[in-house]
Structure formats: C-alpha cells, structure tokens
Amino acid sequence: MTVRQAIQDVTDRIAARSRDTRRDYLNRLDAAREAGVYRSTLSCGNLAHGFAACTPSEKAALAGNKTLNLGIVTSYNDMLSAHQPYQFYPDIIKEAAREIGATAQVAGGVPAMCDGVTQGMPGMDLSLFSRDVIAMATAIALSHNMFDAAVFLGICDKIVPGLVIGALSFGHLPAVFIPAGPMPSGLPNDEKSKVRQLYAEGKVGRAELLEAESKSYHSAGTCTFYGTANSNQMLMEIMGLHLPGASFVNPGTPLRDALTREATKRALSLTAQGNDYTPIGHIMDEKAFVNGLVGLHATGGSTNHTMHLIAMAAAAGLQVTWDDMSDLSDATPLLARVYPNGVADVNHFHAAGGMGFLMRELLDDGYLHDDVKTVWGHGLHNYTVEAKLIEDKLAFEPAPAESALPKVLTSTKAPFQTTGGLKLLTGNLGRSVIKVSAVKPEHRVVEAPARVFHSQDGLQAAFKAGELTGDFIAVVRFSGPKAIGMPELHKLTPSLGIMQDRGFKVALLTDGRMSGASGKVPAAIHMTPEANDGGPISKIRDGDMIRLDANEGTLTFLGDEKEFFSRTPATEDLRPSHHGMGRELFAGFRSLVGVADRGASVFN
C-alpha cells in the first residue's frame, strides 16, 4: 500500500530530525536486551524477596529461571468508573499465563486521577503532572527486573500516556496494553450538556443537574464521549499496542475477558526467549507515531494529545512537533462524528464499524503506514477486523464493508470534512491549538475585544454577575504548566456556550487546557509562551482587538504591535494556588516543566 506523499514527508522529516536521539535510544534498548532479565543473577535473598508471596509451584518455576514471568502494571482503583473493572484483571491474566506454563505478578500500581471529578477544583492542578508521576511509578514497578514482558492496565487521560512513557524506558520489554472498555450508553451526551447549560443559566437546580450527570455517568467503564480517555484507546490500537478490535468492548462481557486472556498470551509470545521478539521500543517508531496522529485527526480526538504524543515520542527518542501535527491535520480527512463532535457516543462508533473500519479506510486510501510492527504481528492491515466470540472462542472477522451509521463513521470518499479535527494557530500572540471538529464553520472566525481574567473563577464570576455582554474573546491566563500545572478549564464551556447561543461572537484564549471535551465554542488553548514566562498573552489588556481564525490557522493581536510588545507583562501572585490538595508537593515539577509545544514534560 502506497502512503500519500504528505504523510510520507512528515514521517521522513521526523526520522531525519530524530536520527541521533532515536539511534541513542535503540542502542540503550539493545544493551538492556543483552543484559537480560536478572532473575538468574539475583542473590538468593534478592530472588526470595521477589517470589516470597508466590505459590510453591510458581516459586519453583521462577527459581529455575526457565519460566517466563509477566509483569502487570495496573491503574486499578474502585472510585473511578473507568478503572474499577481492572479489579479482577490480575486473576484473569495469571490464569491465562499459567495455561501456557508462565507466571504473572502485579509489578506495581500507578495513580489514576479523574479530570471529571477534579474539574474546576484545586486537585485539577495536579492532573497534567500526574502523567509524569505515572511514568516514574511505572519505571519503579518494572525496576525489580523480574519480568520478561509486561502488560499495562490503563484507560484515562494522563494514565495511558504516562504508562507508555514508563514502558518506553523499559523499551527492551514486550508490552501489551489492555483496555477495560466504555460503559454502556446512558443519557445522551448532548442532553446532559443541555442540562448543564440550563443549570448555568439558573433555569434548573442542582438536583436536576446531578440526576442528568448520574444518568450519563452511570456504571463501570470509560465515559462514553470522545475525550482523552477514548482517544487514548484509539491511539493504542492504531499504534499497534492493543489487540485488534479491543478498544471499545464494554466491561464485564465474555468478549472483554477473552481479549484480556489473549493479550496475556500474546505478550508472552513476544519475549526475547522466543522467535518473535517484539519489544515496545521497536513498535513505537516514527511510522507508529504518524499513524497515531493521523488517527487523532481522522476522529477529531483530544487536544491533550498535542502534548502527550510529543512527550511519548520523546521517550522513544523521537522529536515530534506541532508543525508535524498541523501538516498531518491538513492532509487527513475527518471520518468520525462522536460527541462533542456529534451526538453519537463511542458505543455507536464501535457499532458502526469501529476501529477496524476506520483503519481499513485510512489504509486503503494511503493515510496510514501499513509496514509497521505491532503486538499482533507485522502490518497494520491485521487490524482491519472486528473481534468476536464464535462458539465461545475469540475470532477476528473482516470489518464491515460499509458503515452501519454513516452519520457517525464515514469513508474517505465521503468525509465529514477534508481536513482533520485539530488545528495549529500561530501569530503575534504565540502558538496554540484548537479543536475545530466540534466548532461549526460559522463560529470558526472571531474578531472581538479581549476580556482578561487571571483565573477561570474570575471569568465565572463575571458571567454570573452579568458582566459579559456583546462579542468578546475571553483571555484566561496564568493557567499554564509553570504557573499552576495547566488545569483543564472545561467548566467554562457552559458559560461561554450560553453567550454564543445568545448570538454573540465568543472565543477563549488561554495558556491552560480544555481537553478532549472541547466543545462548540472556539478555544485557542495551550498558548505558548505562557503568561508566567512573560509571553504575549501576558501583555493583552481589556479591549484589545484579537482575531482568531481557525480556518487560516491564525491568532493575532490587531493594533500597534510596537506599542503592544513594549508593554510590561502582567503578573500574578500565584502562591495561593501552590498550596493545598497536595499542590505544595509539586513545586519541583512547576520549576522543571517544559513548554506545551514540547510536551509540557518534566523529562525533556
């Protein structure tokens, strides 16, 4: 299959830019492989600690150093719906490993926080940093060097990127990611959104709002809208770290358990002791990351991945930029309409044909690299299937030739738009990104005076006081990674949405985040340089005319540039936001974190 030239050009320049760093990474991977698993070289005391809690038969097997041992890194907790299903996965995995004469151990757990719970709260300031904490926790889990391969149990926003970064630091090990799947469909997301807006207008009370939210988020499993969590699952499949068809199978079903058992066996088949050695460091090359970015654009995925994919790539020795993402967006058609980019949820997407249909369409029309390594073998064409149970046995059948729901999932011959769901914005105010797939064409260009706020609470207070009138671009600054950890500002969506519905031209400009749940209001987010670094966003004043043009990809201060850049940057005493809810523990992260367009990472 021939890849389109625009896709190949971006792939080639990532490879060229990353030549030295990728070579160094692969050299470290080879050295780790040659050193091998250290169970055979551990002292008796070390090894005894490593299998003290095992059964007698497992101890005998591990002592002999002939049995393969699988590490399990889990994000299980029973407070968060997406991660609660993982409670019983270790038992399933251990049983599947025993069936083929191997052992499995839970190597460690990683934290899993929910942006849905912390939205608009002080705990949200820890959210982005939790990705790098998870990466470090993953490394600690694997540092005992007792394992020949590993499986990773993670779903939501920062968890999967953190697990990937940690896994890539042990890039010589095979790694399979095992999802838990989305909850069944509840109250439609658009109906929930309407109730949120009515609540913001004071037309319904908290009881009605809570009832709507509870009917939407109602059981174990991932939230059903297409935010970062479900974008993660799409990425893991299209980048070759899931089993085919595994991403969106509901929890607690026989098919879900069968896929988990097969993922276990597959991970153990890829070790250095076998004939199909496939470590994660070899899978995650420049072609895999380009495939992931194409998938992100084709589905209108999460803006968070404009940072996460850069950080993940860096962990594999690859240098990916916003310009790469922008060029791929210009070359990739939008094929999915899942809330907030439409009214359907991920269960509808899966029923329409899901990942198998999507990947076949993109492969057949030259938008994806087929010649890649995956945990399922060589070639992404192996993923153009549906996973099914036939007579209680796992089977993979070709994805449907036609979408069952063309308004949710379409072909490359009839795309929803000819370009992708994300867009890079550049101009004299710096660089930012916008999710255009959820914004109607008539709202994609806004030229209006600025209303400046130093926190999301300030904007909310102005809205409630009736101070927001007419056209405006809300500037929410001092929300960047160095300032307070770059929290999501999704709680602003109902207020801004109300103003837009009243007929005003409205947009948001911020150095904070808006996540995969970015909705109908145009939002220029991840602005860099951030206000805390004295970026142009720190010089904006109330009344300054700003033009956001998502069609042309520009974000511009309109006026006397010389006067604008001569202004003294605004400042803010952020100390109150650096304490409480654990935030004081992350002072080192705030001082080390990089800029948004380099992944907002403490590692690079």
CA angle 165, 177, 316 (to 5 degrees): 30
Please tell me whether 44 is known to bind a ligand: no
Q: CA dist 6 to 325, 328, 435, Å? A: 12, 7, 21
Q: What are phi and psi of 438, to 5 degrees?
A: -95, -5
- The residue assigned the tokens 């926190």 is 455
Give the H/E segment covering residue 263.
helix 254-269
Q: CA dist 93 to 176, 258, 265, Å? A: 12, 10, 9
SS3 label, residue 388: strand
190 closest CA partner among 302, 80, 338: 338
Question: In this structure, is the dihedral angle defined by the CA atoms of residues 586, 590, 595 and 596, taken in order, positive or negative?
Answer: positive
Please tell me whether 54 is known to bind a ligand: no
CB count within 10 Å of CB 78 equals 11
SS3 label, residue 43: coil
Helices (H) and strands (E) in the chain, counts: 23, 16
End-to-end CA distance of the chain: 35
- The full length of the chain comes to 604
Two structure tokens written together for 86: 């993982």
| Contact assessment for residue 222 and residue 155, using Cβ atoms and an 8 Å cutoff | yes
- The residue assigned the tokens 């995995």 is 93
CB count within 10 Å of CB 191 equals 14
Give the H/E segment covering residue 509.
strand 506-510
551 closest CA partner among 470, 464, 440: 440
Residues 529, 475: Cα–Cα separation, whole Å: 14
| Contact assessment for residue 126 and residue 583, using Cβ atoms and an 8 Å cutoff | yes
Q: What are phi and psi of 522, to 5 degrees?
A: -60, 130
Residue 99 burial by Cβ neighbours in a 10 Å radius (0-12, 13-18, 19+): exposed
Residues 84, 183: Cα–Cα separation, whole Å: 11
Residue 289 burial by Cβ neighbours in a 10 Å radius (0-12, 13-18, 19+): buried
Residues facing 476 on adjacent strands: 453, 510
Task: Label residue 557 left, alpha or beta by phi (over 0 means left) and psi (-120 to 50 means alpha).
Answer: beta
Binding residues for [4Fe-4S] cluster: 156, 223
Binding residues: 156, 223
